[in-house]
Structure 1
Amino acid sequence: MSVRQQNSMAAVLSMLMQVIIWVAVVAGIIAFLLIGAGLIGSLNGGAVKVPGMETYVEDVKPGQFVAGLAGLVVFAPGIIYVCMQLKAILSTLAEGDPFVPENGPRLTRIAVAIGAVELARYVTVILLNAFVDLGSDQPVRLSINLAAWAAVVALFILAQVFREGSRLREEEKMTI
């Protein structure tokens, strides 16, 4: 029977992932407040005055703020969720046992989250072009991110590898 060794690099990466999660949450909240204030200012004729803050918006259409908010709402939760799943995987690696049964489904959830963010991005672009005046003759371009879809496929494959690895480990533990 082997003794598990803790992986210090994985522990550092796990802590770094926690920092990234908090930075993403704080940055998302700040961006939401700033873009929201800009949208209100744009709808209000160019200025918003609230206690402790004044916002002036010149030559920016409300649709541009709506597009910014839509992008933030699509990407921020996905990034935070993926980072949380990665942190959980790194925690098992830091403990010295990455081939636990929970990591296969975590990789699958990451793949689904990335795919969902991409699909939400497509829907957002279509809705923005259909319903929002962005103040430009050019529509928002819909682009397909092949790297993201390749990552989705790779993560589904890795999830299967982890499932099989943990299954084989459990079988090995049962043999005498």
Structure 2
Amino acid sequence: MTDRKILKFLWLLGLVLLFPTLLKKPIKEQLIIFLLSSFFNTPLDNYLVSKDRLEYPVRLKNERKFTKGSFLYDSILCPLITVWYYQSTQKTKKLSEIILKTFLFTTPQVILEALMERFTRTINYKKGWKWYHSFIGIFLLKLYIRGFVGLINLISYAQHSSEKAKGTH
């Protein structure tokens, strides 16, 4: 399979999985997580490309107009995986379980990236970048987004409880 065919397949897969993933209840939470992931991924990836750490030699037509990085990865695939990760950890209370699930979601993502780097021209690691740099970044970003959305939910719950106690709800 050529590199462009792989990218087209990943685009199709991402688009097919996008709507059933984002339409799960509560939809507002799924959208926030998806958009937060894209919001953080895109500038980080652009920075790494501008510092010559990563390169995307083969991309689909017009992708360069949107970003220096990979629009497909930054704005579709990684946010989808982050939403699935959040859905699987949403009710988890123990930090050790959250970290284990973060590891379980990050590992296949990084393995796929490393295989793509090794066997295709869709991504190249440069200037000392290694798979474990990607692992650390993805792992920490997933934890950050989960914590951030958890904090938003906590504040929202506190506000709702306060309004309910005052009888303004």
TM-score, normalised via structure 2 length = 0.35
**TM-score normalised by structure 1 residue count:** 0.34
The higher radius of gyration belongs to 1
